[in-house]
Structure 1
Amino acid sequence: MKTDSAVDEDKPRFRIVDDRPKLDLNAEKITLLIRSALLDDATNVSEKLGALQAQISVDDENDVWISLEDDLWPHDKDPAQALIVAAQLGLEVEFESMWSSTPFAWPGLGELTSSTSEYTQMMLDAYAQYDRSPDKQP
């Protein structure tokens, strides 16, 4: 005669596994999507650099704060794609301007082109002009 525990051991045990993909939005993933949307909004190299350098914070309630460098992102430009992505995710967004050191002198050069390689050449040319001492002649 088998006891109840012995009877249970003879039965196969099944475990249901739900392998459907689940969206787990954490601060890192939200930041990645918002930064990508900022890059979508960028129309020139300065704005691209501004999107890459933006400080994006996500709190415990998934509210988002975005700080954009004033010299790289126009103060009057709405980051429309970032707002759309935030709305799709049901997030509240606050924007602010920040002042910090820009990665390169002459941040306005980036407003002249959307090509990073063209911007790089313009920047190198500008730096080369200031690298000349009175001893160095072209």
Structure 2
Amino acid sequence: MAEHPDSALVRKGFEAWNRGDMETVGSLMTADCTHHAPGESQVSGHFKGRDNIIGMYGQMFELTGGKMRVELDGIYVDGRGHAVAANKFFAERGDRGIEMKGALIFTIVGGKISDIDECVEDIEQSDAFWGKAE
């Protein structure tokens, strides 16, 4: 059975993100894409526009010195432009580490990601790892 196009798009994004290939990640999004990141940390909030989202991802790589990765547990689609990617996130920051389950909920329009809703297992732990917004 062939992979659904929405699943293939999301998988391509995860693979590129893990390589730090933000050019490919950005090419999968609409120009006005929005990423909603939970919590109150310096990488939380509503990031509107592909460039702002890529900037936030860059900040994550900078804060961790590139010591982060995501393992994809599964991608689930509805065939109507939505995909859910269950995953586990690993990162190191200074003397701290984090390993957390989560999910990204994607809205896909015209073969591009137009919205990303991020959910994490423990918002307080995530905030503590990333640090409060300055």
TM-score by length of 1: 0.30
Relative to total residues, which structure has the larger helix share, 1 or 2?
Answer: 1
TM-score by length of 2: 0.31
Larger Rg belongs to: 1
Relative to total residues, which structure has the larger strand share, 1 or 2?
Answer: 2
Which structure is higher in RCO with an 8 Å CA cutoff and minimum separation 6? 2
